[in-house]
């Protein structure tokens, strides 16, 4: 199951896990202009010879969770991998000379709810529906921004920090059930979500300069890592923030 399946890390991982033989349930929120991206991912998944159930709805909504869980139960499906890759939030400063430009309480709470808290709610619903397969894996996409400052990134930074805390707590509480939970910290990656960050091009240039591997991280780098980490017998790896960045975070 991929939350945020129509672009970026979610789309790449959906394609990669489909090639590994997994059926894909993708939840995404797209309007008419971006819907072709989701349709292209679904087509690629089906071309890999597996089933694709794609739902265009708000993944942070309780009714969406209920409907998706019901659809999976009807199909007799079990969730081997849950990937949380939701990138919908506010990119506003906390403090600005023009108060109208500052993040509001509603915007900040929405950002944390979508980009962090929804991981907990999806995990709860799937767990109580009995949908997790034995030796299941849960992955949440974080970033170096959870501990570093970038202008306008404060609300998302707070969400990423909360997301990592949720990962640690879930890892401990789910360990007895054989479910591993990890956060994946990708390097700066050109994706539709990254392009919306203030100063996105500057961020890309700086990341490419810093990265000792000499290039930017790609969504496919992350997808391949998730496929490898999802192999049977690796469930003892849990509760971590795993860097998939070519060494980028090591360089000042």
Instruction: Enumerate residues 6+ apart whose C-beta is below 8 A from 70.
Output: none
Boundaries of every domain in the chain: 2-246
- Please report the DSSP string for 130-181 in residue order: T-EEEEEEEEEEEEGGGTS--TT-HHHHHHHHHHHHHHHHHHHHHGGGT-EE
Per-residue pLDDT at 235: 97
Element (H, E) at 124: helix 118-128
Give the whole-angstrom CA distance, residue 231 versus residue 155.
34
What confidence score (pLDDT) does residue 38 get?
96
Which strands, in side-by-side order, build the sheet including 132-143? 52-56, 24-28, 2-3, 79-84, 132-143, 180-186, 241-244
Tell me the C-alpha distance between 244 and 213, whole Å. Answer: 12
- pLDDT averaged over consecutive 10-residue blocks of the chain (252 residues)? 97 98 97 94 98 96 96 96 96 96 97 98 98 98 94 95 98 98 97 93 95 97 98 97 97 92
Question: Between 3.40.50.720, 3.30.830.10, 1.10.472.50, 3.20.20.10, what CATH number should domain 2-246 receive?
Answer: 3.40.50.720
Is 0.75 topped by the overall pTM? yes
User: For position 219, what pLDDT does the model report?
Assistant: 98
What pLDDT does 229 receive? 98
The full DSSP string for 17-72 is HHHTT--EEEEE---TTTHHHHHHHHHHHHHTTS-EEEEES-TTSHHHHHHHHHHH
Q: Give the pLDDT of residue 56.
A: 97
How far apart are the C-alpha atoms of 143 and 122, rounded to whole Å? 21
Q: Quick check: 3 and 10 in contact, CB under 8 A?
A: yes
Residue 130: predicted pLDDT: 97
| DSSP code, position 239 | S
Instruction: Record the tokens describing residue 7, joined without a space.
Output: 């672009």
142 — phi, psi (to 5°)?
-115, -170
Burial label for 31, CB within 10 Å (0-12, 13-18, 19+), is exposed
Query: What pLDDT sits at residue 220?
Result: 98
pLDDT reported for residue 167: 98
Quote the tokens at residue 53: 């159930």
């Amino acid at each position: 199951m991929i939350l945020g399946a129509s672009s970026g890390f979610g789309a790449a991982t959906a394609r990669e896990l489909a090639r590994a033989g997994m059926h894909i349930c993708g939840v995404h929120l797209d309007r008419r202009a971006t819907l072709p991206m989701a349709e292209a991912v679904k087509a690629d998944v089906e071309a890999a010879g597996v089933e694709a159930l794609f739902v265009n709805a708000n993944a942070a909504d309780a009714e969406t969770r209920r409907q998706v869980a019901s659809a999976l139960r009807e199909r007799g499906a079990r969730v081997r991998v849950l990937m949380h890759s939701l990138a919908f939030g506010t990119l506003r400063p906390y403090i600005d000379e023009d108060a109208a430009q500052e993040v509001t309480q509603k915007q900040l709470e929405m950002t944390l709810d979508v980009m962090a808290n929804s991981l907990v709610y999806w995990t709860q619903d799937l767990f109580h529906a009995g949908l997790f397969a034995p030796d299941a894996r849960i992955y949440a996409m974080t970033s170096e921004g959870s501990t570093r400052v970038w202008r306008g990134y404060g609300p998302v930074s707070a969400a990423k920090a909360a997301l990592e805390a949720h990962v640690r707590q879930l890892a401990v509480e789910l360990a007895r059930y054989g479910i591993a939970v990890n956060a994946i910290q990708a390097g700066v990656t050109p994706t539709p979500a990254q392009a919306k960050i203030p100063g996105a091009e500057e961020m890309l240039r700086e990341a490419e300069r810093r990265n000792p591997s000499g290039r930017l991280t790609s969504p496919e780098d992350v997808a391949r890592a998730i496929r490898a980490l999802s192999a049977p017998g690796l469930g003892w790896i849990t509760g971590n923030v795993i860097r998939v960045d070519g060494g980028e975070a090591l360089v000042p």
